[in-house]
A and B are shown apart, each in its own frame.
Chain A
Amino acid sequence: MILTSVAIIGVFLLIFAVFVVKDLVFSKKGLLLKRFSFRETLCSYLMLLPAFALICVFVLLPIIYSLGYAFTDYYLLTPNQTKFVFLDNFKDIVTNIQNKGDMYNAIINTAKFVVFVVPLQIGMALGLALLVNKKLRGMGVFKVLYFAPVVISLTVTSFLWVRILGGGESGLLNSFLVKLGAKPVSFLYEPQQAMYWIILVSAWQGCGYQMLILLSGLKGIDNTLYEAAELDGANVFVKFSSVTMPGLRSVTTFVIITVFIGACKIMVQPMLMTGKQSFTITLNYLMYIEGYTYRWVGYSSAIALLMTIVIGAITFLQRYLLKEED
């Protein structure tokens, strides 16, 4: 492992050296050796070294390894018996999906989470931003209140909502249901609804942050545009669709992409709110269980690779489509 890492970093340094030589020898005007001062070059390298070394070990190597491990049967406790198994991990994944195993559930649950949380969270954020943006007395206070859930961490959020949604009569919500004469429901352990509660809790915790971003976008829209629209007799909806939406386009792109990527990674909430359950397991959580709990780094990396490809492709597509519209 250490040897492989050194080799990978060596190859990487070699590529860097090739570019250094290229810069030294060639320039647009042809051969030119004396373009760089030696002192400045040495200084640059020394000052870049800490960041560069850390990037190599903690950013670049993990990316390259996650590519490589996906095609091996690497088991963390017996690293020396690692074999190259080509597509076996992916075949296992396909079989698992066909048998409706963990992988199948993880894909369904993650898709469900992303499909619901992205519009919900951004919709809530936009609604709150528009509300808070009204020029009324006291709106600053409401802005702070809507932002409040962002301040608590995902861990605190999860443990807090476990107590609110808890089963039996000791959960906050259930205690009121029982008072009203209904039977207590174990919200987080009902296969039909658990994921939706996680979606709701996540949107509640996160939307204040996007509210702030959208609010800064709203503040950037020229007020004369609204006045002009008003003179043309535009109503609220026309103003929203012809002034607000176009003005928010670039901010919205950013918000959609970041919320989307964040949603694809969801793990802490199901982990702490329900534990490993077929109805709440997500891709990132499954990857963690396979790679960390069971130590099957190879299989786990295959899942990670699929996730990376999907996240990368959809991010690229979103960016491409939104650029197209401009």
Chain B
Amino acid sequence: MKGNSARKAKKIAAHSVTYFFSVLIAILFIFPLVWMIVTSTKTEVQYAYDLGSLRTFLPNLKDLSTFFDNYGSVLTQYDIWKYALNSFAYAAAVVVGNVLINALAGYVMAKFSFPGKGFISFLIMFLLIVPVETTIIPLYSIVHNLGLSGTVLAVIMPPLVSVFNIFLFQQFFTNISKEYIEAAELDGASQLKIFSVIMIPLSMPIVATVATFAFIGVWNDYIWPTMVLPSPQPGEWPLYPIQAALTTIQSIEGVTTGEVMASLVITSIPIFLIYVFAQKYIVEGIGAGGLKI
């Protein structure tokens, strides 16, 4: 009995240590984010007053009249909603195009036989291994020479195709029984119809994963849009997506710390929502990434 309670005490002590470290690490991990959100609700005066004390991590709940002021000015004065709308539009175009184009290619590679298939699958394997991370300058010169730079197409077209996504779809479709296709063929359905009515609905999990990652990729991209799109001009609808606009907002004269933080928070909200609601697909995507090697 005595030994049992001693063991229990030891266990509680061990758990306490674990919890203590967990909380400590959690504080270290999220204090910047807490500070970002809290500061986004403060006026410049309040921010300066709180700086250097623990109040800087706490919202000022005594005077709520200015609580959302920074959000108001970021939305109306700095037009961040226009940039956000741009980002949504680019992301939507890329998500739809990317899923369709790569699913189609993956489907053909998984289920059809045609002359030259060996060469195409070699090409896909080759491009999966070759590090293509450093080709941004040649890509820029190609886009520039095609006359696409300065247009929306320059942001939308390059991310439409992804060799890795083709590979993912191919893996997925390989596991789907060929009987579905044969039955539909007997009914006289066209290949495109089989693809859109049977294959895409069957592959919803992988479609969701690819779509989620494509959205995050486009939403978070910063360097490429700033290379190919003109910086915002007063009086015109800007072409910059939201990440690129953060640089613009930063450099506006007289912008307050609270306003900058508000723009950072607004930029992060959609990705936060995606991680909350599409978590399952993200974890699956990470798993699929692991399969790659």
Contacts and interface: CB of A to CB of B under 8 A. Distances in A.
A153 interface: yes
Contacts of A161: 32
Which DSSP category, helix, strand, loop or mixed, fits chain A's interface? helix
A58 B159 CA distance: 9
Interface of A: 1-2, 5, 15-17, 19-21, 23-24, 36, 40-41, 43-45, 47-48, 50-52, 54-55, 57-63, 65-66, 69, 74, 76, 79, 128, 131, 134, 136, 138-139, 142, 145-156, 159-161, 163-164, 169-170, 172, 175-176, 178-179, 204, 209, 212-213, 216, 250-251, 253-254, 257-258, 261, 264-265, 267-268, 271-272, 284, 287-288, 291-292, 297, 300-301, 304-305, 307-308, 311-312, 315, 319
B6 interface: no
Nearest to B257: A163
B188 to A, nearest CB: 13
A76 B119 CA distance: 34
The secondary structure that dominates the B interface is: helix
Nearest to A180: B52
A48 B108 contact: yes
A87 B226 CA distance: 31
A308 B134 contact: yes
Nearest to A305: B134
A48 B15 contact: no
A111 B112 CA distance: 46
B88 interface: no
B243 to A, nearest CB: 5
A300 B135 CA distance: 10
A43 B112 contact: yes
Interface residues of B, number: 86
A66 to B, nearest CB: 5
Contacts of A47: 104-105, 107-108, 112, 191-192, 195
Given A48-B105, A50-B104, A261-B133, 7 more contacts: A44-B117, A58-B157, A62-B142, A153-B243, A159-B264, A163-B261, A209-B286
B29 A149 contact: yes
Nearest to B39: A163
Contacts of B21: 131
B293 interface: yes
Contact of A65 (B104, B142, B191, B268): B142
A288 B137 contact: yes
Given A66-B137, A66-B138, A155-B246, A136 B131 contact: no
B53 A261 contact: no
Given A48-B108, A213-B286, A59 B163 contact: yes
Given A58-B139, A301-B137, A311-B131, A43 B191 contact: yes
Nearest to A141: B26
B271 A254 contact: no
Q: Which of B25, B131, B160, B289 is the most central at the interface, judged by chain A CB atoms within 10 Å of its CB?
A: B131
A80 to B, nearest CB: 12
Contacts of B108: 43-44, 47-48
B141 interface: yes
Interface in B180-203: 191-192, 195
A148 B29 contact: yes
A267 B101 CA distance: 30
16 contacts: A16-B116, A20-B119, A40-B113, A47-B105, A52-B120, A61-B142, A65-B135, A69-B137, A152-B271, A153-B220, A155-B220, A159-B246, A292-B137, A304-B134, A307-B134, A312-B130
B101 A63 contact: no
A96 B145 CA distance: 30
Interface string B1-42: 000000000000001001101100110011011011000000
B102 interface: yes
B136 interface: yes
A172 B102 contact: no
Contact of A253 (B105, B112, B145, B293): B293
A261 B264 CA distance: 27
A216 B293 CA distance: 16
A65 B141 contact: yes
A156 B264 contact: yes
Given A47-B105, A136-B18, A213 B290 contact: yes
Contacts of A307: 133-134
Contacts of B25: 128, 131, 142, 146
B105 A52 contact: yes
A53 to B, nearest CB: 9
A287 B134 CA distance: 9
Given A40-B114, A51-B105, A159-B260, A175 B52 contact: yes
Nearest to B109: A48
A69 B243 CA distance: 30
Contacts of A297: 137-138, 141
Contacts of A48: 104-105, 108-109, 120
Given A62-B135, A159-B264, A19 B119 contact: yes
A70 to B, nearest CB: 10
B131 A308 contact: yes
Given A59-B132, A61-B138, A153-B268, A163 B260 contact: yes
Contacts of B130: 63, 308, 312
